[in-house]
């Protein structure tokens, strides 16, 4: 049910993002989705890729600090209220969204959003009860 | 318990009179017996007869590790060689070791000092002292050993290493007092866990740890994991070995310096002037009774301060604060002396932070600005911004609390900090002073 995300610590200096992209390109790793959180001094790049283990390995080889986190990919109806429905469900269950970002591709006409919740297992349970489709890792990596 | 009630609780006035008498005698003897010391005193224009009060101590030249190196191996011995009954040496990280000698009387004093140390830590006759300090050239093993025997305890001279066997012996022999380095104590805790030995099933009651710098956090960890009271003890071979200063079990706060044997001073490492009582600076020792290897104003390069407030244990000796750093690369930030190692202590006390850091000092207008760059290792990295920001704030707060200076923490990528010959350059001072 969960999707593995890698996160990379980046200093705010020019070229670092390009370096990451370059390392992944050279290793033949394809990026499926990404989000960049930035502060004055540093940024955290979060990626969903087709080969998490390889991505982590090559980035570490190049001296990056890399973390792995479990997130979930949720299918969201591509119409007004689609996202609101999901978020309301989480609010009712008192689950916090730490961050979220959208996938470029669609899944059967629906949008895909990556969520990082504070309570992962509970979130999965609540979403499933609410009839929301959660995309398994394999499906996401190979989109 | 106080081992030597008479001396350890001397009123300050009587203690200082005793110190002066011993100091005068010591300086006279050293001047006559050691050409090198005599040469340095002549150069400084001071004669033994000039030492009229304890304050005159500050007229005497300092002794450094370099002086010891020049006189390798026996040049600073102050007795005919046939009076020497023991030789120890410190492991020299650079070049030759530091060599020290002891007469029969010195060995006797040392045993007294270590008996006091053990007693201050709550050990007594009937205890089983598990002495895991290394036996050999290092002063730790034999120093502790003689003290424990003097105390009347049963000593297990187990020395270091082979942790599984150590733990088996603790179980079978009923060790009650542990003596070793604090890092080895943690290693023993790890091995106990591996062997599934419950520390509470052992008889260990107290541990006397020294020979390397450690922190309050380490103390808490050792106490919790080994189920004993951890006491900080201090010494250095140049001055005696272990037995120069020790915490008391009553307070576990500050180490009583055995001032009838040693005079501690705190000096400003830049100007070399004595600091006001209670201020931080470099710790300097003068021995008062040593025969074979006396030292005069020996610079330890360790940073501490003296605590003059009376202690609940009843000892009248001043306490030295736990060593908080080394004098190498001292910085003066807005008038405050700051030692990179103090910042390192703060970083290491925060779980997961590896001490890969660099300190940048700049001057903006007339104000010194400090930025500490800390490499983000996998242990502290998080995919959430708030976690990393919280970490930075916490380090800033702890540095402010400990050192009294505000600084900015900047988290940087690993390996950004230049390493020269494997060792990082810790301070980049961009101030044009």
Determine the pLDDT at residue A139. Answer: 85
Pairwise CA distance, residues A26 & B408, whole Å: 37
Do A85 and A101 lie in one domain? The reply is: yes
Kindly state the tokens that stand for A107.
């899944």
A63 and A76 fall within a common domain: no
Q: Which DSSP letter does residue B274 get?
A: B
Domain CATH code at residue A82: 3.30.70.260
CA distance B169 to B154: 13
Q: Which helix (H) or strand (E) holds B297?
A: none
Same domain flag for A87 and A53: no
Statement to judge: residues A65 and A77 lie in one domain: no
- Pair B405, B338: CB distance under 8 Å: yes
CA atoms within 13 A on the CB side of B389: 11
pLDDT tens figures, A102-143: 887 777 788 899 999 989 999 999 999 999 999 988 888 877
Look at strands A42-49 and A31-38 and give their pairing. Answer: antiparallel
CA torsion through residues B215, B221, B225, B228, sign: positive
Nearest to A11 by CA among A51, A52, A40: A40
Q: Which residue of B has its CA nearest to A98?
A: B384
Q: What are phi and psi of B309, to 5 degrees?
A: -60, 145
Both A54 and A78 in one domain: the answer is no
Task: Kindly state whether residues A96 and A59 are assigned to the same domain.
Answer: no
* Domain enclosing residue A16, as ranges: 3-69
Residue B384 Cα, gap to closest chain A Cα (Å):
8
Query: What is the DSSP pairing of strand B241-246 with strand B255-257?
Result: antiparallel
Q: What domains sit in chain B, N to C, each tagged with a CATH number? A: 87-326 (3.40.50.12780), 331-429 (3.30.300.30)
Q: Do A28 and A15 share a structural domain?
A: yes
Predicted local confidence at residue B197, as pLDDT = 96
Residue A143 lies in a domain: no
Domain identity same for A63 and A90: no
- Dump the DSSP string for B99-113: EEEEEHHHHHHHHHH
pLDDT of residue B432: 67
User: Is A49 a member of any domain?
Assistant: yes
Is residue A141 assigned to a domain?
A: no
Counting as low any pLDDT under 70, the low residues of chain A are: none
CA atoms of B373 and B340, how far apart (whole Å): 12
Comparing C-alpha atoms, which of B257, B274, B256 is closest to residue B265? B274
Phi, psi of B86, rounded to the nearest 5 degrees: -150, 140
Which chain B positions have a beta carbon within 8 Å of A67's beta carbon?
378, 381-383
In chain A, count of helices (H) and strands (E)? 5, 7
Low-confidence ranges of chain B (pLDDT < 50): 420-423
In a domain, A13, yes or no: yes
Within this chain, do residues A97 and A60 fall inside the same structural domain, yes or no?
no
- Residue A27, domain member (yes or no): yes
Q: What is the distance between the alpha carbons of residues B215 and A114, in angstroms, rounded to a whole number? A: 43
Say how far apart CA A79 and CA B161 lie, in whole Å.
Answer: 69
Say whether B414 and A63 touch across the interface (CB within 8 A).
yes
Determine, yes or no, domain membership for A139: no
Is the domain of A46 the same as that of A84?
no
Residues A37 and A65 in one domain: yes
Cα–Cα distance measured from residue A18 to residue B107, given in angstroms and rounded to the nearest whole number: 67
Domain total of chain A: 2
Q: Burial, B321: exposed, middle or buried (Cβ in 10 Å; 0-12, 13-18, 19+)?
A: middle
- Core vs surface per residue B100-120: b (16+ CB within 10 A) or e: bbbbeebbebbbbbbbbbbbb
Which of left, alpha, beta for B360 (phi over 0: left; psi -120 to 50: alpha)? Answer: beta
The answer to the question of residue A142 being in a domain is: no
Going by the DSSP 8-state scheme, the letter that residue B202 receives in this structure is S
The vertex-B205 CA angle with B200 and B211, nearest 5°, equals 115
B275: phi then psi, degrees, rounded to nearest 5: -90, 155
* Contact residues, chain B to chain A, C-beta under 8 Å: 376-378, 381-385, 388-389, 410-416
- The CATH number assigned to the domain holding A58 equals 3.30.2130.10
Of B377, B385, B389, the CB nearest to A65: B377
Subunit contact B382:A67, Cβ cutoff 8 A: yes
């Amino acid at each position: 049910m969960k999707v593995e995300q890698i996160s990379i610590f980046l200093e705010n200096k020019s070229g670092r993002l390009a370096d990451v992209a370059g390392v992944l390109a050279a290793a033949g790793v394809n990026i499926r989705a990404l989000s960049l959180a930035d502060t004055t001094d540093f940024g955290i790049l979060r990626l969903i890729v087709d080969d998490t283990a390889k991505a982590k390995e090559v980035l570490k080889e190049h001296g990056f600090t890399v973390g792995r986190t479990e997130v979930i990919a949720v299918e969201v109806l591509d119409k007004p209220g689609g996202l609101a429905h999901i978020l309301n469900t989480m609010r009712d269950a008192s689950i916090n969204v730490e961050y979220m970002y959208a996938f470029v591709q669609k899944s059967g006409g629906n949008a895909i959003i990556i969520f990082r919740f504070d309570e992962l297992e509970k979130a999965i349970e609540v979403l499933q009860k609410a009839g929301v489709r959660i995309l398994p890792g394999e499906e996401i990596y190979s989109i | 318990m106080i081992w030597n009630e008479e001396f350890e609780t001397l009123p300050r006035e009587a203690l200082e009179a005793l110190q002066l008498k011993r100091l005068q005698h010591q300086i006279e003897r050293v001047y006559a017996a050691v050409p090198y010391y005599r040469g340095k005193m002549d150069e400084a224009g001071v004669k033994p007869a000039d030492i009229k009060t304890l304050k005159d101590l500050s007229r005497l030249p300092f002794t450094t590790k370099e002086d010891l190196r020049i006189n390798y191996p026996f040049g600073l011995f102050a007795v005919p060689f046939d009076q020497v009954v023991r030789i120890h040496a410190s492991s020299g990280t650079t070049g030759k070791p530091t060599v020290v000698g002891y007469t029969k009387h010195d060995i006797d004093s040392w045993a007294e000092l270590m008996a006091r140390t053990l007693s201050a830590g709550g050990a007594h006759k009937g205890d089983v002292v598990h002495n895991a300090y290394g036996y050999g050239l290092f002063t730790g093993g034999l120093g502790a050993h003689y003290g424990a025997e003097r105390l009347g305890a049963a000593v297990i001279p187990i020395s270091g290493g082979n942790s599984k066997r150590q733990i088996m012996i603790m179980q079978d022999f009923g060790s009650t007092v542990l003596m070793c380095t604090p890092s080895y104590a943690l290693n023993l805790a790890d091995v106990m866990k591996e062997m599934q030995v419950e520390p509470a099933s052992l008889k260990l009651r107290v541990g006397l740890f020294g020979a390397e710098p450690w922190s309050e956090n380490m103390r808490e960890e050792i106490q919790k994991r080994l189920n004993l009271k951890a006491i900080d003890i201090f010494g250095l071979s140049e001055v005696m070995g272990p037995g120069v200063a020790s915490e008391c079990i009553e307070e576990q706060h500050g180490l009583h310096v055995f001032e009838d044997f040693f005079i501690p001073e705190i000096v400003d490492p830049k100007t070399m002037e004595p600091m006001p009582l209670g201020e931080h600076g470099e710790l300097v020792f003068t021995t008062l009774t040593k025969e074979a290897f006396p030292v005069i104003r020996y610079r330890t390069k360790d940073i501490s301060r003296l605590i003059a407030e009376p202690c609940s244990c009843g000892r009248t000796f001043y306490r030295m604060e736990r060593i908080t750093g080394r004098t190498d690369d001292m910085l003066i930030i807005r008038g405050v002396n700051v030692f990179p190692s103090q910042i390192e202590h703060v970083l290491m006390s925060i779980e997961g932070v590896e001490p890969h850091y660099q300190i940048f000092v700049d001057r903006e207008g007339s104000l010194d600005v400090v930025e500490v760059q800390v490499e983000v290792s996998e242990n502290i990295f998080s995919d959430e911004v708030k976690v990393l920001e919280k970490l930075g704030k916490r380090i800033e707060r702890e540095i402010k609390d400990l050192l009294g200076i505000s600084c900015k923490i900047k988290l940087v990528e690993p390996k950004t900090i230049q390493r020269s010959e494997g060792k990082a350059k810790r301070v980049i001072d961009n101030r044009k002073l």
